Structure 1
Amino acid sequence: MSLAEIRLDDKYRLATGHLYLTGTQALTRLPMLQHQRDQARGLNTGGFISGYRGSPLGGLDKSLWEARDYLKQNAIHFQPGLNEELAATAVWGSQQTNLFPGARYDGVFAMWYGKGPGVDRAGDVFKHGNAAGVSPNGGVLLLAGDDHGCKSSTLPHQSEHAFIAASIPVLNPANVQEILDYGIIGWELSRYSGCWVALKTIAENVDSSAVVEVDPLRVQTCIPEDFELPEDGVHIRWPDPPLAQEKRLNLFKIYAARAFARANHLNRVMLDSPNPRLGIITTGKSYLDVRQALDDLGLDEALCAQVGLRVLKVGMSWPLEPVSVHEFARGLDEILVVEEKRSIIEDQLTGQLYNWPVDKRPRVVGEFDEQGRSLLPNLSELTPAMIARVIAKRLAPIYTSESILTRLAFLDAKEKALAARSYSTVRTPHYCSGCPHNTSTKVPEGSRASAGIGCHYMVQWMDRRTETFTQMGGEGVNWIGQAPFTDTPHMFQNLGDGTYFHSGSLAVRAAVAAGVNITFKILYNDAVAMTGGQPIDGELRVDQLSR
């Protein structure tokens, strides 16, 4: 059978072999694997999935709907959220099932999904849910869709800092196979530690495809033998005073997560040397970029070992497990941390090494060098070429060669060639032919409008006197802060019907309560068009909007 002939039932049936899956399909299959693992252990568990669409997870709900019969066979209930915050609250509720009589399952494992801005929106729920914990046979996995390069977002974003604020451990897969493996590890980690666990996803993984192993028992985890949990456990209970939750989280759950990471070798040395001098610590996509950079420099495993290079791949980027990191750092002159966006691992690493004797403590560089100069910028995305230059620079005191210099020159020439445009015509994106936005976003002469989240965001690039925008659900509320201080008497606000149902109705109520002069234009097309044309999560008719 060719890859193109693989049918839906081949992707989601009970199987222990290899399948060709996209990252989205892997995420769809993931909860089925968890249910099958539980069955093999004699556990009768159910699964619950909720969230809100947004790239790179924009097509996950469509994939889940496509596989609904297979989800049902595995006792998994998929209920899209009205918005990310409410979806997260429903996930929190799934962990409360076994606190009360009537539960039909031994536990409910749950999965939430949302784009980076949705992570921000759901922060209050994440803090409450993580503090409360999970059921012993449940567990919570949070899929965070991050857009480092701002390719389909209003801002570039990374979600780790939001999860850290909620004390939620973060797993960082590097490819499609690790989406499956780390997803399973995430639920096992959640059950052991009592924490909600985040799984960072990016377009490079979710939109890619690979042949992966789908055996439910492929991943084998173990319980740490060197960590003592509290007598009353770390799981959700009722009643549960807030200060008791804080104590359980800060004194036990976070450290249980670190112990689990150590016992299950989530941090692995991928390249080593008998006399290591330069170490590289990296995670997720950046690990693959590092390997590509080494290949671009002509540094194969044998040569890396010869020149003294050691590479550590971190599976759980927060909290950073210290024992494996200390073992990795021992004997090194310098550690280069390669991670995208703002520092996560580097900040933890410098703290963990601070108390080492100065003569044994390696230099740590990453976002900045030892002089405070930018080294690996926290802007947009890192590329293998950028990383190759930095590796060559940091390696130069102990090793360089004509081959490396020649390869760096080739990378420079290649990037210049790619940057040089071979065309002069630039086409500004516009609405699709027949889309009602073509006419609905026009405003009367002398008026102005504000944009919002959705396809109609593009109106800002057109000559339609539409300027500025808000976050999703804030459309029009910015006028409340302007109206008292301007001679402009009125403005229009574009608002998509999908956003109206998601959170925009509250913005309309806020404008009414403030008594400002504003006209909302509800752009009705009966779909959440920008992520793939999914239906609105509920019933919404034109006649209801006028009530």
Structure 2
Amino acid sequence: MRHAEVTLDDKFLLTEGRVFITGVQALLRVLIDQHRLDKAAGLNTAGFVSGYRGSPLGGLDQQAHRAQKFLDQAGVVFKEGVNEDLAATAVWGSQQANLFADSAKYDGVFGMWYGKAPGVDRTGDAFKHANFAGTFPKGGVLAVAGDDHNCKSSTLPSQSEFAFQDFEMPVLSPADVQEVLDYGLLGYAMSRFSGLWVGLIALADTMDSGVTIDIGIDRHRFVLPDNYRLPAGGLGIRLKDQPLDKERRLRTQKIPAALAFARANKIDRVMLGSSRPRLGIVCQGQAYKDVIEAFAAMGISAAEAADLGVAIYKVGMPWPLEPQGVRAFAAGLETLMVIEHKRPLIETQARAALYDLPAHARPKIIGKVDEQGHPLLSEIGSLSVAEVALAIADRLPPGPHMERVHDYLARVSAASMAAVTLSADQQRKPFFCSGCPHNSSTRVPEGSRALAGIGCHYMASFNDPSTDLNSHMGGEGLSWVGASPFTNESHVFVNLGDGTYNHSGSLAVRAAVAAGSSMTYKLLFNDAVAMTGGQAAESGFTPAQITRQLHAEGVKTTVIVAAEPERYLHATDLAPGVEVFPRSELMEVQQRLRDTPGVTVLLYDQVCATEKRRRRKRGRMEAAPRRVMINPLVCEGCGDCSKTSNCVSVEPLNTEFGRKRKINQSSCNQDYTCLEGFCPSFITLEGAENPHREAMPALTADSTLLPAFEPFEGVKNIVFTGVGGTGVTTVASILAMAAHVDGRAASVVDMTGLAQKGGAVFSHVRIGETEETVVGGRVPAASTHVLIACDLLSADGPDALALYAKDRTVAVGNADFAPTADFVTDRDVRFDAEAQGRRLTAAVKSYDAMPAQNLAVNNLGDAIYANMIMLGFAWQKGVVPVSSRALYR
């Protein structure tokens, strides 16, 4: 194995070869490479980026700041948007800069908008205006839409292609990170040629994945259509453009130009041909990877599939579908199967494109329904490789290949059965972090209820029966305006995060005041947008400034409840009449506001616990002066500390005298609300820190006994399971990078969503000799070779069990069981690590366990190292195919 001289800057610095890069980083690479291509073409261009964070694009702004020097060199200006539609308007402005040539600094500006699918929806008006206006011929715009098919970290599942269709913006659908880069640059070329904004779909499986890709700048050579002549005056943005002229140009010239560009550059192409095609499969984006994965899982090679009469057509631009290519592909087919996730976009267009063919030349078209009109491929959630394989298998001709197909389907069926019969009774559900302000701030007095909002506090609706009925972002509280005239209920509380308030929620407060409804907004000021990585809100408003803004909006009563009320003792900049209370008086304050007519605001001021931990580690905040411990000999196990603090760091401790409580010092964020419980067993240690263990003997690659690695062909599928927030995804990324250092192809996909807040987290790592062997990011059903169960309960969940196979999965597990959030509300809930181990043993080929958390705490002083110990345990067993030097590197 070779050990490449890999640096973290490679992903942006290198212009040829292979790099390991994430989907989000690839978007930034698009901007850098666009500038490189323009410079090589003799153009002096710059870039402009604006949007609003939201999964799977939640970390784009953070990555942009880390890549600042490379963006600066490329002339790219990055401006976070206050919200999505204002950001889109700013990007629209980047195309107007060159309309006034005398003052333009550059030959053109390429723009990029980014946002989550709900942001696409709310930005429709801006998109339509900007797209009708057009782009500058040496600029161009990409609109990157983050879709969440399975609603892992959203309030609704999403599919943005139909929104882009309505905005009349061509949309590109990358299948993987490589195509994020390729299609991004292609999108700019199309946008410049056609004068249209171009949409780019960003799924979690591409944005949340890291993979080895080819970044050769010479790959990107685009041709202009030789059968399309641009009209006089071109198709770009112009001054004094009339609305009907824009519409005419858009529909009669710009969209045809985009279709001509797509044909000339073969965006849609035949990926598998057959000399006697019978079954033609049309797919796009992630579905294409699913199709390729399905054939591999069934043991059918590309050559064998072609011999069986299968042909595959990959669509890169799902709207508008280029008709000439799909007509040519359909010629001579018996059946055309369209495989796409969620609603049928390509299928509907394919039917229209083939409708006027003679009956004898028109294939049967199936997709969402089969030949008899029965449901075939679901529109709900996302399709699995197994579902795709089953649909294809039913349409393959008989032959010896079917034995392999049936073997695969039987293995999938067995895994599905295990997911039902062996699944753990308990679930690891997401919950507020230790010391999170929402542990206290989202509670309401007896007899009251609260409306949920967008943000981490949304999780209150999972666990608190008094909180329910969320709205879209920025609509918080307005549902009560519509409901209150028709109910005898006189008041509700409304949870509103400071990030949402800055984004659009301040308008909701204004509307509620105008309506005269009686409600209390609980404005949760955390000093960080914790849901997407701890960024500061764009306005940077302080609580004092917010009180003055609320006063100006007409809110008559605003109070502050603060974790550190002493900070306000000498405050002179609060709005008139604002009172400040300690959080111990939260319930009394809420009862008072509940009885106050009109709109009132309770501003809850406490720094996000995760951000506080981050700042302390980085030296930007003083370490907390005290540690809290529980004397088990005094503790009676009553659970009042859990009830008071709502904190997951209060854990069970089984002793010879029965079940007691302890504080998990590794996860505790020193919030101290547990001290408010009615209990004499708590001890506070002033100036105490977690113990620093003595340095252990240094181990090097040369001094460590190397395992005998099992040889493998094709791809090695490794699955990590763990608890959100404990570093599982970090360890998985280290493994994938180590494989890259060894010269292998690797990918890692993290499945987190809201689970990052203490829920079940999964990382899929796939390692192969070449990029071609690592097809998709996710490990398909019944295909796991190695399971590293950093948390047994997550490993015993139905989604995880469906990935294992009794004939191939080697599992290692952490025998130390981490309590679930159920313990916060149920003091008697029991956890049985041995039972979890037995379930796992029944589902896999072999299983070995070790007490990783105890080893980490006792030898390294912190449980955070347990996941890395688990990786080392698996590596020592010879089932992780990377070298020790690569892991060290």
Normalising by the residue count of structure 1, what TM-score does the alignment of the two structures yield? 0.97
Larger radius of gyration: 2
Q: Is the 8 A contact 2:338 2:346 kept in 1?
A: yes
Tell me the SS of whatever aligns to 1:21.
strand
Cα distance change of structure 1 residues 420 and 148 upon mapping to structure 2, 3 Å threshold: farther
Tell me the SS of whatever aligns to 2:218.
coil
2:237 matched residue in structure 1? 236
Rounded Cα–Cα distance in structure 2 between residues aligned with 1:224 and 1:398: 44
1:317 matched residue in structure 2? 318
Cα distance change of structure 1 residues 240 and 364 upon mapping to structure 2, 3 Å threshold: same
Cα distance change of structure 1 residues 446 and 325 upon mapping to structure 2, 3 Å threshold: same
1:66-465 superposed matches below 5 A: 66-100=66-100, 101-396=102-397, 401-463=402-464, 465=466
The letter for the 1-side match of 2:356 is N
For residues 456-510 of structure 1, the C-alpha deviation after alignment (integer angstroms, 9 at most, x for no partner) is: 0011122351111100000001111011111111111010000000000000000
For residues 11-42 of structure 1, the C-alpha deviation after alignment (integer angstroms, 9 at most, x for no partner) is: 32253332111112111211000001000000
Tell me the SS of whatever aligns to 1:192.
helix
For residues 128-147 of structure 1, the C-alpha deviation after alignment (integer angstroms, 9 at most, x for no partner) is: 11111000100000111101
Rounded Cα–Cα distance in structure 2 between residues aligned with 1:473 and 1:427: 30
Tell me the SS of whatever aligns to 1:217.
helix
1:9 matched residue in structure 2? 9
1:21 matched residue in structure 2? 21
Rounded Cα–Cα distance in structure 2 between residues aligned with 1:365 and 1:383: 18
Q: Is the 8 A contact 1:307 1:399 kept in 2?
A: no
Q: Structure 1 residue 34 and structure 2 residue 49: aligned?
A: no
Tell me the SS of whatever aligns to 2:113.
strand
Higher mean Cα deviation, 327-336 or 457-466? 457-466
Higher mean Cα deviation, 229-238 or 151-160? 229-238
Rounded Cα–Cα distance in structure 1 between residues aligned with 2:91 and 2:337: 38
Cα distance change of structure 1 residues 403 and 211 upon mapping to structure 2, 3 Å threshold: closer
Equivalent residue pairs, number: 547
Structure 1 residue 343: deviation in Å? 0.6
Rounded Cα–Cα distance in structure 1 between residues aligned with 2:161 and 2:4: 36
Tell me the SS of whatever aligns to 2:202.
strand
Higher mean Cα deviation, 507-516 or 7-16? 7-16
Tell me the SS of whatever aligns to 1:19.
strand
Structure 1 residue 8: deviation in Å? 3.8
Structure 1 residue 5: deviation in Å? 7.3
Higher mean Cα deviation, 295-304 or 78-87? 295-304
Rounded Cα–Cα distance in structure 2 between residues aligned with 1:18 and 1:46: 26
1:498 matched residue in structure 2? 499
Rounded Cα–Cα distance in structure 2 between residues aligned with 1:507 and 1:2: 58
Q: Is the 8 A contact 1:50 1:113 kept in 2?
A: yes
Rounded Cα–Cα distance in structure 2 between residues aligned with 1:420 and 1:502: 46
Tell me the SS of whatever aligns to 1:328.
helix
Rounded Cα–Cα distance in structure 2 between residues aligned with 1:429 and 1:205: 23
Tell me the SS of whatever aligns to 2:468.
coil
Question: Structure 1: which 5+ residue stretches go unaligned?
Answer: none
Tell me the SS of whatever aligns to 1:78.
strand
Structure 1 residue 9: deviation in Å? 3.0
Rounded Cα–Cα distance in structure 2 between residues aligned with 1:379 and 1:451: 25
Rounded Cα–Cα distance in structure 2 between residues aligned with 1:542 and 1:396: 69
Higher mean Cα deviation, 107-116 or 408-417? 408-417
The letter for the 1-side match of 2:461 is Q
Rounded Cα–Cα distance in structure 1 between residues aligned with 2:366 and 2:247: 34
Higher mean Cα deviation, 536-545 or 395-404? 395-404
Rounded Cα–Cα distance in structure 2 between residues aligned with 1:14 and 1:406: 44
Structure 1 residue 361: deviation in Å? 0.3
Cα distance change of structure 1 residues 533 and 2 upon mapping to structure 2, 3 Å threshold: farther
Structure 1 residue 534: deviation in Å? 1.1
For residues 337-378 of structure 1, the C-alpha deviation after alignment (integer angstroms, 9 at most, x for no partner) is: 000000110000000000000111001000111322110000
For residues 97-130 of structure 1, the C-alpha deviation after alignment (integer angstroms, 9 at most, x for no partner) is: 0112311000100011111111111111111111
Q: Structure 1 residue 44 and structure 2 residue 44: aligned?
A: yes
The letter for the 2-side match of 1:32 is I
Structure 1 residue 528: deviation in Å? 0.8
Tell me the SS of whatever aligns to 2:395.
helix
Structure 1 residue 379: deviation in Å? 0.4
Rounded Cα–Cα distance in structure 1 between residues aligned with 2:180 and 2:280: 26
Q: Is the 8 A contact 2:342 2:378 kept in 1?
A: yes
Tell me the SS of whatever aligns to 1:165.
helix
- Aligned-residue CA RMSD in angstroms? 1.6
Structure 1 residue 537: deviation in Å? 1.1
For residues 254-300 of structure 1, the C-alpha deviation after alignment (integer angstroms, 9 at most, x for no partner) is: 11111111000111111111110100000111101000111122221
Cα distance change of structure 1 residues 486 and 2 upon mapping to structure 2, 3 Å threshold: farther
Rounded Cα–Cα distance in structure 1 between residues aligned with 2:465 and 2:208: 34
Rounded Cα–Cα distance in structure 2 between residues aligned with 1:212 and 1:535: 32
Rounded Cα–Cα distance in structure 2 between residues aligned with 1:240 and 1:419: 62
Structure 1 residue 400: deviation in Å? 6.9
Structure 1 residue 213: deviation in Å? 2.1
Rounded Cα–Cα distance in structure 2 between residues aligned with 1:3 and 1:55: 34
Rounded Cα–Cα distance in structure 2 between residues aligned with 1:464 and 1:535: 30
Rounded Cα–Cα distance in structure 2 between residues aligned with 1:3 and 1:466: 54
Normalising by the residue count of structure 2, what TM-score does the alignment of the two structures yield? 0.60
Higher mean Cα deviation, 406-415 or 347-356? 406-415
Tell me the SS of whatever aligns to 2:535.
coil
Q: Is the 8 A contact 2:300 2:401 kept in 1?
A: no
1:466 matched residue in structure 2? 467
Q: Is the 8 A contact 2:173 2:316 kept in 1?
A: yes
Structure 1 residue 226: deviation in Å? 0.8
Structure 1 residue 326: deviation in Å? 1.1
Rounded Cα–Cα distance in structure 1 between residues aligned with 2:359 and 2:254: 32
1:520 matched residue in structure 2? 521
Structure 1 residue 405: deviation in Å? 2.5
Rounded Cα–Cα distance in structure 1 between residues aligned with 2:267 and 2:420: 38
Q: Is the 8 A contact 1:31 1:47 kept in 2?
A: yes
Higher mean Cα deviation, 223-232 or 412-421? 412-421
The letter for the 2-side match of 1:34 is Q
Cα distance change of structure 1 residues 374 and 465 upon mapping to structure 2, 3 Å threshold: same
The letter for the 2-side match of 1:137 is K
Structure 1 residue 6: deviation in Å? 3.8
Cα distance change of structure 1 residues 71 and 87 upon mapping to structure 2, 3 Å threshold: same
Q: Is the 8 A contact 1:19 1:214 kept in 2?
A: yes
Q: Is the 8 A contact 1:34 1:216 kept in 2?
A: no
Cα distance change of structure 1 residues 403 and 13 upon mapping to structure 2, 3 Å threshold: closer
Cα distance change of structure 1 residues 5 and 488 upon mapping to structure 2, 3 Å threshold: farther
Structure 1 residue 439: deviation in Å? 0.8
Q: Is the 8 A contact 1:37 1:217 kept in 2?
A: no
The letter for the 2-side match of 1:91 is V
The letter for the 2-side match of 1:55 is S
Rounded Cα–Cα distance in structure 1 between residues aligned with 2:347 and 2:339: 9
Tell me the SS of whatever aligns to 2:80.
coil
Structure 1 residue 419: deviation in Å? 4.1
The letter for the 2-side match of 1:274 is S
The letter for the 1-side match of 2:462 is W
The letter for the 2-side match of 1:299 is I
